[in-house]
Chains A and B, each alone.
Chain A
């Protein structure tokens, strides 16, 4: 399904990704492990189209999308610090992707309700996102990403910075949500246990790099 081939990225003098390749099959949940600062997030940004690699290619369902604009890829992404839109409510955040796809109002609100109940925040629709707790914000961010049913979801350290109890609880929820919606996903994390708890398969960035 997702095929990343020989992707290299450097910022000025610094080489961040050196000929990285990775595959994710349909319906598979893959965890990408590596210490922080090793370029995992950069790889996600390349896949999402937020960054054009210096060389290499990205293909989705055998179609090359290396230079395709982000908004045409239908690749979802959960950002490390959520990046909820502060000027919109919880529901408005979740329905944002649906509006972009041109869903009509009634269908949108049904989908939002569905997702809100999926993440257990049924009563939160009209809330401002600036008042949410850490866990609530994570859930809203996930719901926002899942709402338009992206072809693949990229998660950038989704559970970093939460306390132990919340972390374990959310890890379970996340795993459950991704599986119940049969979502293909690539999770970036530095936590081996977290990777094991959520993913079908774990790779390290070092495994993906082609050695000269």
Chain B
């Protein structure tokens, strides 16, 4: 950069500092009150109680920690191994339907975890329910997109001639893969694997639905200790332990990213080719079909089970959810105990509130961060913290912090959307910041020379450019809130069940009709998510085409 510092040069054309500082207030208060305070409370509780010592020496908890770790490790290894196939396919080959396949692969990743759990519950035979196999399969299904995106992105840019060079030197295809391609992909593989590990280590929804009593992860155990056994002390200790593990993992991950960067001569263009040999053609067709089947089958199983209340298919469960009464006539002692349809309304209402909170807080924060320097970085980091915290911990922290007057908000209906907003706001900020930072200062200066006041410049340039990313962020916040299960599990109130809570409860009750109703709600939630993410993608692609 040979330009002089624009900010210093034209500060008189900028907004006054107090205005920018004012923009930082909502986000600072938000993160301070609803994140830092609860986390502080958790740490305080776990250290004042003697349960810290007993929990760390408890063989049962050690067992859970060990199980959490190895199932995450196994899930990660399998996800990477399986994900390399579609990554290779999409990185190296050009074929009809390639874009469709790319979109299809991201489908499982945007599905709420409860829906993924429900899909595998629907798919797997009964004896595989409550087994590690079921958990790992669902984890792989859910996370493969991370590997495809992460590794495929690098692979696409890796010059194919490196492999060709190895081949001319006598390396067989498998040897080339082992000696050249995989080592070069290592940074991307390590990065994707770390993300998958974090996701599976803190897995909650999938494990709640598929784990059964023998297989709790730390995340499930925190929830279980707090809401089932009523042992707040142990739950607090486990939350803090999990915070520490996640903190270390995130730190290690960011170090990895900075140190592992190789001086690769990455071509900005891609090297995709049409399949030429019969073997390549067979691979492209075979892999495409296999991937599509693997994605479609669990989703189809979900829909199928929503249509099964007895022998054959029927719309009985759909009618009972959207019609009048929802009790299982064949078993008078088994009732849902709540209205499944109301959960759709509750979820949508919470999602809208969460969306408003995260867009307002995230929007103000992004504007402040892009203008403030050191303070901006601090705020940026602070807002990212909830991403490195498990959802159950967030919910639990909120629940035990705001329990004394005048801050006793445990019963407030807005606690749930607030928890959702904590999770969604970082995404909104992440979407807005790059756009704000990419605005050419010349553009603002041009507006200034044309007579726009600082506030006018800001309105005409900055805000105008933020339209689409704000819309995208709002969509993501909606989707995140609709599918959120961890924090909600702790904050939920009877009579105000959200969709994921209702799905889990229905699937845990006996009776074909209640199960089918659970699958109906899971199908509805999946459809809502598709529609929202589809709309977001349409907005995003629309902006790409304009640019």
Q: Residues of A at under 8 Å CB distance from B? A: 11-12, 45, 48-52, 69-77, 79, 81, 83, 85-87, 96-97, 100-101, 130, 144-145, 148, 150, 154
A87–B169 CB distance below 8 A: no
A79–B167 CB distance below 8 A: no
A101–B164 CB distance below 8 A: no
Which residues of chain A are near B167, meaning CB under 8 Å?
Answer: 48-50, 69-71
Q: Which 3 A-B pairs have the closest CB atoms?
A: A97-B169, A100-B170, A70-B167
Q: State in angstroms the CA–CA spacing of A86 and B164 once bound together.
A: 14
Q: State in angstroms the CA–CA spacing of A96 and B167 once bound together.
A: 11
Interface centre among A71, A73, A74, A75 (most CB of B within 10 A): A71
Give the contacting residue for A70; candidates B159, B168, B262, B276; CB below 8 A.
Answer: B168
Which residues of chain A are near B170, meaning CB under 8 Å?
Answer: 71-72, 74, 97, 100-101, 148
B164–A50 CB distance below 8 A: yes
Which residues of chain A are near B164, meaning CB under 8 Å?
Answer: 45, 48, 50, 70, 77, 79, 83
Interface string of B182-198 (1 = CB under 8 A from A): 01100000000000000
Interface string of B257-285 (1 = CB under 8 A from A): 00000111100000000101100000000
Q: State in angstroms the CA–CA spacing of A74 and B171 once bound together.
A: 10
Which residues of chain B are near A79, meaning CB under 8 Å?
Answer: 161, 164-165
B262–A71 CB distance below 8 A: no
From residue B207, how far is it (CB to closest CB) to chain A in Å? 38
B183–A148 CB distance below 8 A: no
Offer 9 A-B interface pairs, CB within 8 angstroms, sorted by A. A11-B274, A50-B167, A52-B277, A69-B167, A71-B173, A81-B159, A86-B265, A100-B170, A101-B170
Which residues of chain A are near B173, meaning CB under 8 Å?
Answer: 69, 71
Given contacts A83-B164, A87-B262, contact A100 B171 (CB under 8 A): yes
A69–B172 CB distance below 8 A: yes
A77–B184 CB distance below 8 A: no
B162 sits at the interface (CB 8 A) = yes
A76–B169 CB distance below 8 A: yes
Other A-B pairs, 12, CB within 8 Å; known A50-B164, A96-B171: A45-B164, A48-B164, A50-B168, A69-B167, A69-B172, A70-B167, A79-B164, A86-B184, A100-B166, A130-B262, A130-B263, A148-B170
Chain B: CB-nearest residue to A95: B169
Q: State in angstroms the CA–CA spacing of A11 and B273 once bound together.
A: 9
A71–B274 CB distance below 8 A: no
Q: State in angstroms the CA–CA spacing of A12 and B96 once bound together.
A: 13
Give the contacting residue for A83; candidates B165, B175, B176, B262; CB below 8 A.
Answer: B165
Q: State in angstroms the CA–CA spacing of A77 and B175 once bound together.
A: 18
From residue A40, how far is it (CB to closest CB) to chain B in Å? 15
Give the contacting residue for A52; candidates B169, B176, B264, B276; CB below 8 A.
Answer: B276
Which residues of chain A are near B159, meaning CB under 8 Å?
Answer: 81, 83
B165–A77 CB distance below 8 A: yes
Q: 8 Å CB contacts to A: which residues of B302-358?
A: none
Chain A: CB-nearest residue to B175: A100
Q: State in angstroms the CA–CA spacing of A148 and B162 once bound together.
A: 17
Q: State in angstroms the CA–CA spacing of A40 and B71 once bound together.
A: 53
B180 sits at the interface (CB 8 A) = yes
From residue A12, how far is it (CB to closest CB) to chain B in Å? 7
Q: State in angstroms the CA–CA spacing of A130 and B159 once bound together.
A: 15
A86–B277 CB distance below 8 A: no
Q: State in angstroms the CA–CA spacing of A97 and B167 once bound together.
A: 9
Chain A: CB-nearest residue to B276: A52
Q: State in angstroms the CA–CA spacing of A79 and B166 once bound together.
A: 11
Q: State in angstroms the CA–CA spacing of A12 and B161 once bound together.
A: 21
Which residues of chain B are near A86, meaning CB under 8 Å?
Answer: 184, 262-265
Interface centre among A69, A81, A85 (most CB of B within 10 A): A85
Chain A: CB-nearest residue to B162: A83
Chain B: CB-nearest residue to A74: B170
From residue A151, how far is it (CB to closest CB) to chain B in Å? 11
Q: State in angstroms the CA–CA spacing of A49 and B173 once bound together.
A: 12
From residue A17, how far is it (CB to closest CB) to chain B in Å? 14
B265–A81 CB distance below 8 A: yes
Which residues of chain A are near B176, meaning CB under 8 Å?
Answer: 71
A75–B262 CB distance below 8 A: no
Which residues of chain B are near A45, meaning CB under 8 Å?
Answer: 164
A85–B171 CB distance below 8 A: no
Which residues of chain A are near B276, meaning CB under 8 Å?
Answer: 51-52
